[in-house]
Amino acid sequence: MNRLAVYCGSATPADPAYIEVARLVGRSFAERGIGLVYGGGRLGLMGAVADAALDAGGEVIGVIPEALVDTEVAHRGLTELHVVPGMHQRKQLFTDLSDGFVTIPGGTGTMDELWEAMSWAQLGYHAKPVGLLNALGFYDHLIAFVAKMAEIGFLRPVHRDILIVADTLDDLLERMAAHRPHTPIFKMSSEEL
């Protein structure tokens, strides 16, 4: 994995442990020689992950919609900053530039990015690993919800392991490196669906 997209919040939570998670991810990527692709912002967890990677000598590529550049939240000190018309182009470029996806704590936008990465993997638009770092137990309820989708039958058994979950970054990256693509919906027969 040469580059990984990181999905995370642009907010700064009151608990500094969340910023520390972002810093750990950015620093660890740089130390491992993994380029960071992220949302291009300078605020919150986004800014923390980018700054930590840059401080450790890593490659950091930001992808940001024009509207957010105009509000002056763009990080101007990156290796590369791609300015795109909107969110659809942003998520497509995340997919094009990265070898996989890591989601750390965040809000609505982070969930949008995670769900799209999972959906696109399920359909067959990409065969890249989709990772979820359950730092500080932040995603416990989401993990339970994914299990509930599978239990009810809304998530096929063959797609159950699209989301790779771990509580530590080392474990998550190891599991992502071992990722083997599943059979996407586009290649399944109607009887299998």
How does pLDDT run across 112-141, given as a tens digit for each residue? 999 999 999 999 999 999 999 999 999 999
What average pLDDT does the segment 24-36 reach? 98
* C-beta of residue 135 within 8 angstroms of C-beta of residue 166: no
Residues in the chain: 193
Which domains, from first to last, does the chain contain?
Answer: 3-187 (3.40.50.450)
How does residue 41 score in pLDDT terms, banded at 50, 70 and 90? Answer: very high
Q: CB-based contacts of 96: which residues, under 8 Å, 6+ apart?
A: none
Q: Give pLDDT tens digits for 79-90.
A: 999 999 999 999
